[in-house]
Amino acid sequence: MIELGAYGGGSALWFRDRLRTLASYKRVTEPFVVSIEIDPSQMIEALDAADPDWRSSIQLIAGDVRDPVTAERVAEIVPVGTPVLVAEDSAHVYETTWAALANFSRFVQPDGYFVVEDGCVDIEELRLDDGWPRGVLPAVRDWLATEEGQAFRVRRDLELYGLTSSPEGLLQRIR
């Protein structure tokens, strides 16, 4: 699992725990989360308080998803070709979403998923606050129109209940 944008670390623990459950069913072999945050100091403090052994299954990288060097640092830990789910939950603005897709989509294997969270920021009826950022959905749509993006398809059929905070954000690699 590669998590882009970690904030306080709660989702890193949640992803890790879900992977542990899948491992108990022999669906994954080694539960491991790589979590990227520009400044993970708050996250480290929260993880230490919640689970002192978190370092055995969560690797933090202090970095910016917009910087290709960050993706290279991830590649040193998670070689391209390893089955990985990527979840993008960082700044929720056009430039960051585009960069996350461009820099990290290479880690997703055929039939695997890249999840772009919180596209709801671009849908007026779903915006809870005028201060929310914008740009997720335009970035996803524009990136999918590129040659690299055409290797993915949007899986709207997986938005089972007709409402999600991540509309058009379930991207499956098809080649």
Structure tokens at 172: 């499956």
Residue 58 confidence (pLDDT) above 80: yes
Residues 120 and 118: their CA atoms lie apart, in Å, by 5
Say what the pLDDT of residue 40 is: 94
CA 158 to chain centre: 17
Residue type, 127: R
Higher pLDDT, 96 or 82: 96
- Domains of the chain are 2-173 (3.40.50.150)
pLDDT above 90 coverage of the chain, percent: 89
Residues 6+ apart with CB under 8 A from 99: 65, 66
Residue 167 above 80 pLDDT?
Answer: yes
pLDDT of residue 71: 97
Q: Assess contact for 2 and 36: CB atoms under 8 A.
A: yes
Residues forming a β-bridge with 173: 152
Residue 74: pLDDT over 80: yes
Each residue of 30-52: pLDDT tens digit? 899 999 999 999 999 999 999 99
- pLDDT greater than 80 at residue 114: yes
Output the DSSP codes for 88-136. Answer: E-S--SHHHHHHHHHHHGGGPPTT-EEEE--GGGG-GGG-S-TTS---H
- Per the prediction, the chain carries an average pLDDT of 95
- pTM beyond 0.85: yes
Q: Residue 54 — pLDDT band, cuts 50, 70, 90?
A: very high
Does residue 60 carry a pLDDT above 90?
Answer: yes
Query: At residue 91, what is the residue type?
Result: A
Is residue 156's pLDDT more than 90? yes
φ/ψ (deg, to 5) at 101: -65, -45
Report the pLDDT value the prediction gives residue 172, as an integer from 0 to 100.
Answer: 98
pLDDT for residue 161 is more than 90: no
Residue 3 has pLDDT above 80, yes or no: yes
CA nearest to 20, candidates 159, 12, 83: 12
Contacts 24+ apart (CB under 8 A), 124-127: 126/165
